[in-house]
Amino acid sequence: RERVNERVGAMFSQEPQDLVVVAGQPVTLPCSIPGYIGVVLWIKDGLALGVGRDLSGYPRYTVIGDHTSGEHHLRIQRVELMDDAVFECQAITAALRSRPAHLTVLVPPEDPVINGGPVVSLRAGDPLNLTCHADNAKPAATIIWIRNGEVLNGAMYSRTLLRDMRRENTVSTLYISPSNIESGQQITCRASNKAVPNGKETSVTIDIQHLPLVNLSVEPQPVLEGNLVKFHCSAKANPPVTQYRWAKGGSVIKEVSGDTYEVIVDHSFFTEPVSCEVTNPLGSTNISRNVDVYFGPRLAAEPLSLQVDLGSDAVFNCAWTGNPSLTIVWMKRGSGVVLSNENILTLKSVRQDDAGKYVCRAVVPRVGAGEKEVSLTVNGPPTISKTQTKQELHGEKGQIQCYITSTPPPDRIAWSWKETVLESGTSGRYTVETVSTEEGAISTLTMSNIVPADFQTIYNCTAWNSFGSDTEIIRLQEQGGSQGSTRSSSLTTLASLASVWRRLCPVWSPVWRPGDSSLAVLSLIGNYYSCSPRLLKMHIKTEASERERRLIRPAGLQMGFINSRATVSYSNRVIAVSLTICSVYACGGLYFTRGLK
């Protein structure tokens, strides 16, 4: 249409129009104002490009035409995305503005790309997933898939707007099931938009391949240890084989790279298979074979000696290899009892008498035999296995010893007598020395310048570890002395009873010492009796050791308190001893008073 300025008579004979152009092409926006001689401006998105024909700030922009005839056309070379804008032509002096013209720039997508092309290798039996990208398009590209001239449906699409808020990337993913794929087929991805209506294409060729099919032969078999064996690895593969790798027992044999391996075999080839791994571009196939090698028993897993806690399980593992088949036997050293015929020997809830040597023996019929010995150590409370005292004379040096068996080793060993407790070192005439042994320890109490009272003193040796403790009562023996036999017997018996009762009734645990009054002895007996006969009876029947029962039995006989024909239980005997002592004291406490003093 024409626009007329009534004051000057100028008007537009040509105005810019809306245009659509493909990026990279030139474009001209017309502007003619016949008879107008004043300044003409081109405006882009509200900003002046320059004054008159001077557009030096925009090298691709030029004002063309015969300006004397009023022609002021805007020429744009190689249109770019940034030229997508609204343009106006203005006659400043005449106060004329052209209609706004929108220049739309189209950008074709870049050449589409199919991931993995141009040849897509596909494992037989696997589905096909193809992904095609068409990027940097305005407007966004449309993608179709074509096979044998037919469009494939079911593809999934996604679009991503770029930072310039104008161009977009398009991604299409096509899934084809294994049953609908043939090797050698071509599949095409075509991307198009308004800038390229016919689209751009790219294709891939489908190549269905398979892993190597491998066979491993071993000759000869069976074979004696020390003879030559040949392994041959034959394979069929598409695409062709690229590598052979040999291994034995999982360790790569680097010096062999072909399809054949020759070697002198030993016993290890029976338990460590030889494997051949064949590789092609799709992956690897591994096949392995053992060799039937004849050999005698050999340890595959050496058994280890164990140290376990009392009551826990002990598990030994002794693995042998041998060919032909071998027999395994577990026995405890010194016993003919077969404990197991398996590689693993399990001892449930071990006791201290389970400690010892165990033998794992393997036999290959008509070939050979072998055996291995292990030790079982049981952690438990210490045991004072024996005590030793030398017969000494007055005025000389005396010595008593305490032999302790303990696993783990004892944490503490103490001697006690009267009011004294000594673990190590010297106290007055007494010295304690402890020596560690393989079984535990030996603790020695040495006393200098023996006096008569030393032979009447009861010495207590006690050992502790983390599992418990053990106590033993020891007396110093007088050389050639028979004096005070009745008194000695009484002292020993009462000390023994006190030792037993301390274990059976821990609720009340006094320590009896020679030299105490007879009243203290009766108090000891009375208090222990009050512990409850039922508890005392239970302890003696269920927990008292044989050694303690032996102590109780002669105790009454030596003191003359129990009739030899009595058949009462141990608990009744103890009660009888207590009651008899009480009666004797009531009738004639002088015996005890003299005996104890």
Both 517 and 594 in one domain: the answer is yes
The answer as to whether 468 is a domain residue is yes
Both 499 and 593 in one domain: the answer is yes
The answer as to whether 7 is a domain residue is no
Using CB atoms within 10 Å of the CB of residue 400, give its burial: 0 to 12 exposed, 13 to 18 middle, 19+ buried: buried
Q: What residues pair up with 147 in beta bridges, in sequence order?
A: 150, 187
DSSP SS3 for 269:
helix
DSSP SS3 for 250:
coil
Of the residues 208, 242, 261, the one at which a domain ends: 208
pLDDT of 556 reads 32
Pair type for strands 420-422 and 128-137: unpaired
Both 446 and 523 in one domain: the answer is no
**Peptide bond just before 178 cis, omega within 30 deg:** no
Both 349 and 451 in one domain: the answer is no
Gap between the Cα atoms of 14 and 98, Å rounded = 9
8 A C-beta contact, residue 389 and residue 401: yes
Gap between the Cα atoms of 191 and 408, Å rounded = 82
The residue with tokens 């084809």 is: 176
Both 140 and 93 in one domain: the answer is no
Per-residue burial over 71-106, b if 16 or more Cβ lie within 10 Å, else e, is: bbbbebeebeeebbeebbbbbeebebbbeebebebb
Both 119 and 158 in one domain: the answer is yes
Range of the domain at 523: 484-597
Both 519 and 596 in one domain: the answer is yes
Total domains, the chain? 6
Both 440 and 519 in one domain: the answer is no
The answer as to whether 13 is a domain residue is no
Gap between the Cα atoms of 277 and 401, Å rounded = 71
DSSP SS3 for 83:
helix
Q: Using alpha carbons only, what angle is made at residue 109 by residues 106 and 110, rounded to the nearest 5 degrees?
A: 135
pLDDT of 54 reads 85
The answer as to whether 214 is a domain residue is no
DSSP SS3 for 496:
helix
Of the residues 178, 208, 238, the one at which a domain ends: 208
Name the packing angle between helices 570-588 and 533-542 (round to 10°).
130
8 A C-beta contact, residue 244 and residue 278: yes
Both 270 and 309 in one domain: the answer is no
Give average pLDDT by consecutive 10-residue segment, the chain, 597 residues: 50 95 96 91 93 88 91 95 96 92 97 95 91 96 96 95 95 95 94 96 93 94 92 92 94 93 92 93 91 89 91 93 91 93 94 92 88 93 80 80 91 93 92 92 92 90 93 85 39 44 39 37 38 33 35 31 30 39 36 31
The answer as to whether 1 is a domain residue is no
pLDDT of 438 reads 85
Ranges assigned E (strand) in 54-182: 61-64, 73-76, 85-91, 96-97, 101-106, 113-114, 119-123, 128-137, 142-147, 150-152, 156-161, 168-176
pLDDT of 578 reads 43
Ranges assigned E (strand) in 138-224: 142-147, 150-152, 156-161, 168-176, 186-193, 196-219, 223-224
pLDDT of 527 reads 38
The answer as to whether 493 is a domain residue is yes
Both 336 and 233 in one domain: the answer is no
Which residues are within 8 A (CB) of 170 and not within 5 positions of it... i.e. 6 or more apart?
Answer: 109, 133, 134, 135, 137, 140, 141, 142, 143, 157, 158, 159, 191
Both 202 and 249 in one domain: the answer is no
The DSSP element (H or E) to which 279 belongs, if any, is strand 274-280
Using CB atoms within 10 Å of the CB of residue 510, give its burial: 0 to 12 exposed, 13 to 18 middle, 19+ buried: middle
The answer as to whether 512 is a domain residue is yes
Question: Domain containing 460 — which CATH number?
Answer: 2.60.40.10
Q: Count of CB atoms within 10 A of residue 2's CB?
A: 8
Per-residue burial over 156-185, b if 16 or more Cβ lie within 10 Å, else e, is: eeeeeeeeeebbbbbbbbbebeeeebeeeb
Gap between the Cα atoms of 517 and 596, Å rounded = 7
Gap between the Cα atoms of 554 and 568, Å rounded = 14
8 A C-beta contact, residue 525 and residue 582: yes
Of the residues 208, 241, 272, the one at which a domain ends: 208
The answer as to whether 89 is a domain residue is yes
Both 519 and 501 in one domain: the answer is yes
